[in-house]
């Protein structure tokens, strides 16, 4: 690859890294796992950079790869008890912000299908039709999961804000 191609990829990487990690973090709830998934997605983009660089939104492609890798990872973790034990022994890399902690805690309380729909749509910036394809379901199902997930998140986050407000006013 030419040095201009390398510079183009480096600029792309720098410009999209945080959003890709945020999307993967929303899927996994673990920063170190999210960074690993994002890195693998960028490795795949690098190998196909001549093609990927011509996409309308190469960042969306990388986020899609990262989320698919996350889904594959979930499946492997369910099968392997050893993998689950390994996953929980990693130390987190730096503390997340308070807002991130509250959001992830609320996301973890949602049913898995609703959580995936919310993360893929809002953090992964995927369309309803893309999510339906990934999840192998109808678009109406995705819309329902998004609606119910948003309502549940609003309740969960609203209850958190109210309890924090009461604590500061007492």
Architecture field, domain 1-93: Orthogonal Bundle (1.10)
Are the beta carbons of 157 and 102 closer than 8 angstroms? yes
Question: pLDDT digit string (tens) for 90-109?
Answer: 565 677 788 888 888 899 99
Question: Taking the alpha carbons of 49, 50, 53, 55 in that order, is the dihedral positive or negative?
Answer: negative
Question: 136 pLDDT exceeds 50?
Answer: yes
Which residues make up the CATH 1.10.10.10 domain(s) of the chain?
95-170
Our separate counts of H helices and E strands in the chain read 9, 0
Are the beta carbons of 85 and 45 closer than 8 angstroms? no
Question: 158 pLDDT exceeds 90?
Answer: no
Could you tell me the two tokens for 108? 């973890």
Residue 24: the pLDDT is 92
Instruction: Tell me the pLDDT band of 157, cut-offs 50, 70 and 90.
Output: confident
* 56 φ, ψ (degrees, to nearest 5): -60, -40
Q: How many angstroms separate the Cα of 121 from the Cα of each of 50, 89, 111, 113, 168?
A: 27, 30, 16, 12, 34
Question: 170 pLDDT exceeds 90?
Answer: no
Average pLDDT, the chain: 85
Are the beta carbons of 30 and 90 closer than 8 angstroms? yes
Could you tell me the two tokens for 50? 């001549």
Residue 90: the pLDDT is 59
Mean pLDDT value of segment 24-32: 90
With CA atoms as reference, report the closest residue to 28 among 98, 82, 90: 90
pTM: 0.50
Question: 124 pLDDT exceeds 90?
Answer: no
Mean pLDDT value of segment 112-140: 91
Are the beta carbons of 63 and 20 closer than 8 angstroms? yes
Question: 47 pLDDT exceeds 80?
Answer: yes
Are the beta carbons of 36 and 49 closer than 8 angstroms? no
Question: 11 pLDDT exceeds 60?
Answer: yes
* Percent residues over pLDDT 90 in the chain: 52
Fold of the CATH domain 95-170: Arc Repressor Mutant, subunit A (1.10.10)
Residue 36: the pLDDT is 94
Residue 84: the pLDDT is 56
Question: 5 pLDDT exceeds 70?
Answer: yes
Question: Taking the alpha carbons of 157, 160, 164, 165 in that order, is the dihedral positive or negative?
Answer: positive
Which residues make up the CATH 1.10.1740 domain(s) of the chain?
1-93
With CA atoms as reference, report the closest residue to 128 among 146, 112, 148, 114: 146
Return the SS3 of 46.
Answer: helix
Are the beta carbons of 63 and 27 closer than 8 angstroms? no
Mean pLDDT value of segment 122-141: 91
């Amino acid at each position: 690859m030419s040095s201009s191609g390398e510079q183009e990829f480096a600029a792309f990487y720098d410009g999209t890294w945080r959003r890709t990690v945020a999307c993967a973090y929303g899927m996994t709830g673990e920063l170190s796992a999210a960074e690993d998934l994002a890195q693998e997605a960028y490795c795949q983009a690098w190998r196909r950079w001549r093609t990927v660089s011509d996409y309308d939104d190469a960042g969306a492609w990388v986020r899609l790869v990262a989320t698919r890798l996350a889904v594959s990872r979930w499946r492997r973790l369910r099968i392997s008890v050893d993998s689950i034990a390994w996953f929980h022994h990693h130390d987190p890399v730096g503390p997340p912000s308070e807002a991130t902690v509250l959001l992830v805690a609320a996301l973890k309380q949602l049913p898995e299908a609703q959580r995936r729909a919310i993360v893929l749509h809002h953090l992964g910036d995927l369309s309803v039709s893309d999510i339906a394809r990934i999840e192998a379901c109808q678009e109406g199902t995705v819309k329902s999961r998004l609606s119910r997930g948003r309502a549940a998140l609003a309740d969960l986050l609203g209850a958190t804000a109210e309890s924090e407000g009461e604590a500061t006013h007492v």
